[in-house]
Amino acid sequence: MGGVAQLRLMVVLGLRSLWTHKVKTLTVGSLLFFGTFLVVVGTALLDSIESSMARSITASLAGHIQLYDADAKDPLALFGSGFMGSDDIGEIPDFAPVKAAVSAVPNVAAVVPMGIGMATISTPVELDQVFLSLREAVRDKDQARIDALAKRTRAIATDLVTEYANRAKISTDTERIAKAQADLARVLSDAFWKELEDSPELSIQFLDSHIAPLASDGRLVYLRYLGTDLDAFTRDFDRFQIVEGEEVPSGHRGMLLSKTFYEKQLKHAVARSLDRIRDKRVQGTTIAGDALLRTIARELPKQYQRITYQLDPADAGTLEGQLRELLPQVEGGLPELVQAFLAVDDANFDARYAAFYELIAPHIKLYEARPGDVITLRAFTKGGYLKSVNVRVFGVFRFSGLETSDMAGAQNLVDMMTFRELYGQMTPDKRAELADIKAKVGIEDIDRASAEDALFGGGALVEEHQDDEAGFDEFRGVDLAGQVERLREEAAAPFDQTAVDNGLALNAAVLLKDPERLDESLAAIREALDAAHLRVQATDWQSASGMVGQFITVVRLVLYIAIFIIFLVALVIINNSMIIATMERVAEIGTMRAIGARRRFVLVMFLFETGVLALLSGGLGGAAGIALITALGHSGISAGGVDIMVFLFSGPFLYPSAGIDQLLLGVTAIIVASLASTLYPALIATRIQPVVAMQQKE
């Protein structure tokens, strides 16, 4: 056998018997069609998501390969393992040799040191700000300013008296309320302001400790930070963009806030609520028609203090005039006017939104920290002590394409020096300072904990809390003036690249010149690390990214199991229908055998027939799958604004693409599966004896 003629005979036999046994052909054909369709659509979607997710992960944090301690207790999970903060990924005590070893590997473009941590920043209550100003005014003996601030404090106190009178009616905590009312009465008395002149320190301390807590509570903001070589990071992660402010100058400490964090955590609460309503309304939602928006709108007027307490007396006057003009029917003073202004509904929203940003926003602190500000980060060191470090915010950044993903915006960036300090590692300066203290105090054997205490706790610069409970709950009494001094001191001592490299990192990102050669480079990097006797492991971005990286693997597994089940069902059905077809064709096969067809001819004929069917319906199913994916590739699949989806899609829409790869995979899989399921019936067919042709009776 062989040759074009026999092939043609097979084709004719195959096609014609497929045509003759239409029901079987249709059943098996549609199974093969959907099988291929599913494989093509499923794998194309997954491949697209995987590559978009790869873009998100590699471009935003991970690089292509991550390095970390070979003896780490927990695997590295850049985007969280689900046990936030409790992962112990060990440390790379000295980054420089790791950088040297890995940079030497061909295809490595950059090695960027990293360290992730979590800190809190305290966002002072509005009253804190007033009292801080008052403290400054008293220090500067600026009587005009003291008077203005005194007036403002009394106004606020009057306001609080009304509020506590209301609270007294509903609250059961009468003791606390009575005490608050007594404190407020004291502030409103002339005697108190006389005392201020005599002993300002005591009076202001009273305001700080007794009155400040009475206003709405100060917020504790959790901030995830990624300590890194900022120069390298901004250069090598090409999706990085500064959207406000500037990059941290080379060799300086500093922080870059993520745009997401900046907008969602640091923006003024009233502005944020208004923004939220605006964003929803842009999408077509109305306040009246949405329960969540109704709640936000209802709560808005209650937050008027967040505005009024922040106003300078002069600004307050201006604003009162402007609001009165806008809302002439409202009776009462500024508090009533602001409350009325914040009562938004679908009819007045757009005007109020614009007026808020035009009239009110310029007079309030729209962001709790802006580029140029100094913020205090507080974190637990590796040793378990709470540590405060001041750092200047230089800019706000985002990763282009991932603007709407909270996950991509989860990390704020900080320089390596600040990171090491928060982590609890001492810089050479600090070591020297500690030696100094040791000498002075005369302690021979000072342990690390008390050393830190002596360094940061004992000084007047920053208050230290050592008990965990107080640590993350209370953030009062941070001496902002002192912080600024301290910052100046540190900013005056710039560092160089050697200082960045020679020191601790928790992990490091490796960026490759050609990401396609990841596996090969991973092996080369491992070899280089081994050769340099470094206890550092290398892993690809997917496993380094934690749950997010596993997500795609899980989805792929589910898809493959689904495909496997469908194939199994198809296999059984194809097998059965082929056995039935074989039975129906016993006479025909017997005849072919009698007139000289070998067994192999019968086998090939059966396989060929299924093969042709698989090729046709698989080809059609695959083409339909590619058509669907191509259509989706044009229209885009919306992430629906869901954060994780935006991250997975590397943007608000996924534009999937399908190519010859998926088609080949689909068609090959379906051909292999259908041939496998035909093999048994075909073998049965080869056992048909030619003598059956003779035994035919009509």
Partner 1 sequence: MPAVVEVRGVEKDYPLGKLTVRALRGVDLTIDAGEFVSIAGPSGSGKTTLLNLIGCVDVPTQGSVSVDGQATSSLDDNGLTNLRLHKLGFIFQTFNLIGVLDVFQNVEFPLLLQGGMDKAARRARVEAIVDAVGLTPQLRQRPNELSGGQRQRVAIARALVTGPRIVLADEPTANLDSQTGANIIDLMKELNAKDGTTFIFSTHDAEVMRHANRVIRLADGLIVDDGRGAPRAEVPAPASPA
Tell me which residues touch partner 1 (CB under 8 A). 1-3, 5-6, 9, 12-13, 16-17, 19-20, 587-588, 591-599, 601, 689-691, 693-694, 696-698
Cα end-to-end distance, the chain, whole Å:
33
Judged by beta carbon, residue 22 or residue 194, the one nearer partner 1 is 22
If the CB atoms of residues 15 and 615 are measured against partner 1, the closer one turns out to be: 15
**Host H or E run for residue 476:** none
List, in order, residues 6 or more apart from 674 with CB less than 8 Å away: 28, 32, 570, 574, 610, 611, 613, 614
Rounded to 5 degrees, what are φ and ψ at 111?
-125, 115
CA distances from 389 to 16, 378, 582 (A): 82, 6, 81
User: Which residues are within 8 A (CB) of 642 and not within 5 positions of it... i.e. 6 or more apart?
Assistant: none
Six token digits for residue 540: 């690809």
How far from 237 is each of 86, 195, 335, 437, CA to CA, in Å? 27, 58, 48, 42
Find the angle CA(284)-CA(288)-CA(292) to the nearest 5 degrees: 80
Cβ 687 to partner 1, closest distance in Å? 11
Provide the minimum distance between the beta carbon of 694 and partner 1 in the complex, in angstroms, as a whole number.
6
What pairs with residue 245 in β-bridges?
A: 395
Q: How far is the CB of 649 from partner 1 (least distance, A)?
A: 51
What is the smallest separation between the CB atom of 573 and partner 1, expressed in angstroms? 23
Select 162 or 696, whichever has its Cβ closest to partner 1: 696
Structure tokens at 126: 């509005």
**Residue with Cβ nearer partner 1 (12 or 565):** 12
Give the nearer residue to partner 1 in terms of CB position, either 6 or 638. 6
For the CB of residue 590, give the shortest distance to partner 1 in the complex, in Å.
8
What is the smallest separation between the CB atom of 555 and partner 1, expressed in angstroms?
A: 45
CB of 685 to partner 1, least distance (A): 14
Computed over its alpha carbons, how large is the radius of gyration of the chain?
Answer: 36
Nearer to partner 1, 5 or 170 (CB): 5
What is the 3-state composition of the chain as percent helix, strand, coil, each rounded to the nearest 5? 60, 10, 25
In angstroms, give the least distance from the CB of 576 to partner 1: 22
Q: Residue 411 class from Cβ within 10 Å (0-12 exposed, 13-18 middle, 19+ buried)?
A: buried
Min. distance of Cβ 698 from partner 1 in angstroms?
5
CB of 16 to partner 1, least distance (A): 3
- Supply the minimum distance, in Å, between the C-beta of residue 578 and partner 1: 16
CA distance 38 to 42: 6
SS3 string of 58-124? HHHHHCCEEEEECCCCCCCCCCCCCCCCCCCCCCECCHHHHHHHHHCCCCEEEEEEEEEEEEEEEEC
Residue 446 CB burial class (10 angstroms; 0-12, 13-18, ≥19): middle
Nearer CB in complex with partner 1: 1/642: 1
CB 377 within 8 A of CB 119: yes
Tell me the closest approach of the beta carbon of residue 20 to partner 1, in angstroms: 6
| 4's tokens | 């074009």
Residue with Cβ nearer partner 1 (144 or 595): 595
> What token pair was written down for 212?
């400040």
Residues 6+ apart with CB under 8 A from 319: 311, 334, 359, 360, 363
3 or 82: CB nearest partner 1: 3
Which one, 231 or 588, has the nearer CB to partner 1? 588
Spatial contact of 671 and 616, defined as CB atoms under 8 Å apart: no
* Separation of alpha carbons 304 and 156, rounded Å: 12
Nearest by Cα to 307 from 326, 334, 344: 334
583 with 692: CB under 8 angstroms?
no
CB of 32 to partner 1, least distance (A): 21
Q: Of 156 and 592, which CB lies nearer to partner 1 in the complex structure?
A: 592
Nearest approach in angstroms of CB 591 to partner 1 is 4
Token digits for 584?
């129906």
Nearer residue to partner 1 within complex by CB, 211 or 693 = 693
Whichever of 9 and 555 has its CB closer to partner 1, that residue is 9
Shortest separation between residue 52's beta carbon and partner 1, angstroms? 50
How far is residue 647's CA from residue 401's CA, in Å, rounded to a whole number? 9
Contact 333, 320 (CB under 8 A): yes
CB of 666 to partner 1, least distance (A): 29
36 token code pair: 């291929």
Indicate the residue among 227 and 590 with the shorter CB distance to partner 1.
590
Q: Closer CB to partner 1, residue 29 or residue 546?
A: 29
Instruction: Please state the closest distance from residue 616 (CB atom) to partner 1, in A.
Output: 17
Question: Nearer to partner 1 by C-beta: 15 or 675?
Answer: 15
Between 348 and 689, whose beta carbon lies closer to partner 1?
A: 689
- Residue 480 CA to residue 487 CA, distance in Å, equals 10
Torsion-angle region of residue 372: left (phi > 0), alpha (psi -120 to 50) or beta? left
CA-nearest of 28, 16, 41, 129 to 563 is 41
* Residue 204 token pair: 């202001």
